[in-house]
A = this chain, B = another copy of it.
Amino acid sequence: MAKGDPGVTTRGRRAAPRSKKAGAGKAGDPELVQLLTPEGERIESVTGPDGTEYRVDFTDEEYRGLYRDLVLVRKLDAEATALQRQGELGIWASLLGQEAAQVGSGRALRTQDMAFPTYREHGVLYCRGIDPIMPLGLFRGVDQGGWDPNEFKFNMYTIVIGAQTLHATGYAMGIAMDGKTGTDDGEAVIAYFGDGATSQGDVNESFVWAGVFNAPMVFFCQNNQYAISEPLERQTRIPLYQRAAGFGFPGIRVDGNDVLATYAVTRQALDNARHGQGPSLIEAYTYRMGAHTTSDDPTRYRIASEVEAWQAKDPIARMKAFLTKQQLADADFFAEVDEQARRESVHLRERVLAMPNPEPTTLFDHVYPNGSPLVEQQREQFSRYLESFEGSAH
């Protein structure tokens, strides 16, 4: 799929009744924007609660590109999980099940947009065109991120729940202060966070700030139904997207397992932001198919049948069904994608294994931009101490 500006339209205006109401006809969740059913049926367009019409007009190539993204990020994620099992990573936070939420939103970003991830947005990172090796140093324990957010327009992973939403808001305020909104070239920010994070003070403060300063940003909540072991009901008694209304900006729930709907909704929200229409909240309704991290044991707190029910809503399967039904792709294509995924994951593995351990004294590097005599003194003492062992059996 071409980066930058794929041939897709979403229209921010009242739509004629030919488009469906959000999720109309779907059992259970009348509030969900969906453009691709679990069975792979396309819904032509959907009208959101505020009258916005959501649709996508991808080329065949672009549809296939989205499928490729989904398969690749799942495969790379699986490889990382395997690497952790084999002791090559200290821990891994898998995105399994959330591929569509991440690819849909990640592809909706324009080049100039800035993303603030949690620790799970490997799929978004991939869609930004960033080498998937980038965050693996953190999980291997050889560094703690170590990249420049501005170089990649992708902030470092943030582990403290919710903290990054304020950073995103400040950054978005900076965009407005720089006068970089109001045109198609305007910049926007996307802040990722989970359902659990919505309880944190910081996240709610970022809602306050974004509202007051009309910050050009999108709050993108991947509601994967759990915060480690705690189900959604421990964080809220109403749907999360409704939180936004309390702060004076729009909120919308999208089927986070539907890459097309996620794309359409995110693209619209980002474009609204870049045009100076302020913040909005997207709740991507999805499911964490795996454990919270490789350290977690989900059998302690959820039942197999729940996982199975969500299996039926798999984001990749529905895209494959759609491509097949529409004859947009054939077996060769699917085989080729799988092969590419295999190759990329082997390549990733090789590079992870080759990651060198940091030199001991690098732990003293970069404590301060301008350095510190205290740290330098400790570095020297420790170096001398290490040297004292040299030649010894230690």
Interface residues in chain A, defined as those with a beta carbon under 8 Å from any beta carbon in chain B? 198-202, 204-205, 207-208, 211-212, 214, 233-238, 242-248
Within the assembled complex, what's the spacing in Å between the Cα atoms of A244 and B204? 13
Query: Which of chain B's residues have a CB closer than 8 A to the CB of A205?
Result: 199-201, 204
| In contact, B248 and A237 (Cβ under 8 angstroms) | yes
Query: Which of chain B's residues have a CB closer than 8 A to the CB of A247?
Result: 236, 238, 243, 246
Query: Which of chain B's residues have a CB closer than 8 A to the CB of A248?
Result: 236-238, 242
Within the assembled complex, what's the spacing in Å between the Cα atoms of A205 and B207? 13
Copies in the complex: 2
User: Which of the residues B201, B211, B233, B242 comes within 8 Å of A204, measured between beta carbons?
Assistant: B201
| In contact, A208 and B212 (Cβ under 8 angstroms) | no
Within the assembled complex, what's the spacing in Å between the Cα atoms of A211 and B235? 9
Listed by A's residue number, 17 A-B pairs whose Cβ atoms lie within 8 Å are A199-B208, A200-B201, A201-B201, A201-B204, A204-B204, A204-B205, A204-B207, A208-B236, A211-B238, A212-B233, A212-B237, A236-B248, A243-B247, A244-B246, A245-B245, A245-B246, A246-B247
| In contact, B238 and A212 (Cβ under 8 angstroms) | no
Query: Which of chain B's residues have a CB closer than 8 A to the CB of A242?
Result: 245-246, 248
By CB atoms of chain B within 10 A, which of A235, A245, A247 has the most?
A247
Shortest distance from the beta carbon of A49 to any chain B beta carbon, whole Å: 14
Closest 8 CB pairs of A and B: A201-B201, A246-B246, A204-B204, A238-B248, A243-B246, A237-B248, A199-B208, A211-B237
Shortest distance from the beta carbon of A139 to any chain B beta carbon, whole Å: 29
Shortest distance from the beta carbon of A253 to any chain B beta carbon, whole Å: 14
Within the assembled complex, what's the spacing in Å between the Cα atoms of A204 and B236? 12
Within the assembled complex, what's the spacing in Å between the Cα atoms of A246 and B205? 14
Shortest distance from the beta carbon of A67 to any chain B beta carbon, whole Å: 36
Query: Which of chain B's residues have a CB closer than 8 A to the CB of A246?
Result: 242-247
Within the assembled complex, what's the spacing in Å between the Cα atoms of A234 and B214? 11
Report the nearest B residue to A210, measured CB to CB: B237
Within the assembled complex, what's the spacing in Å between the Cα atoms of A92 and B242? 40
Within the assembled complex, what's the spacing in Å between the Cα atoms of A130 and B152? 61
By CB atoms of chain B within 10 A, which of A201, A207, A238, A246 has the most?
A246
Query: Which of chain B's residues have a CB closer than 8 A to the CB of A199?
Result: 205, 208
User: Which of the residues B201, B207, B234, B245 comes within 8 Å of A212, measured between beta carbons?
Assistant: B234
Within the assembled complex, what's the spacing in Å between the Cα atoms of A234 and B200? 21
Query: Which of chain B's residues have a CB closer than 8 A to the CB of A202?
Result: 201
Query: Which of chain B's residues have a CB closer than 8 A to the CB of A211?
Result: 236-238
Query: Which of chain B's residues have a CB closer than 8 A to the CB of A245?
Result: 242, 245-246
Shortest distance from the beta carbon of A202 to any chain B beta carbon, whole Å: 6
Within the assembled complex, what's the spacing in Å between the Cα atoms of A237 and B214? 9
| In contact, B236 and A212 (Cβ under 8 angstroms) | yes
Query: Which of chain B's residues have a CB closer than 8 A to the CB of A237?
Result: 211-212, 214, 248
Report the nearest B residue to A241, measured CB to CB: B246
Query: Which of chain B's residues have a CB closer than 8 A to the CB of A200?
Result: 201, 205
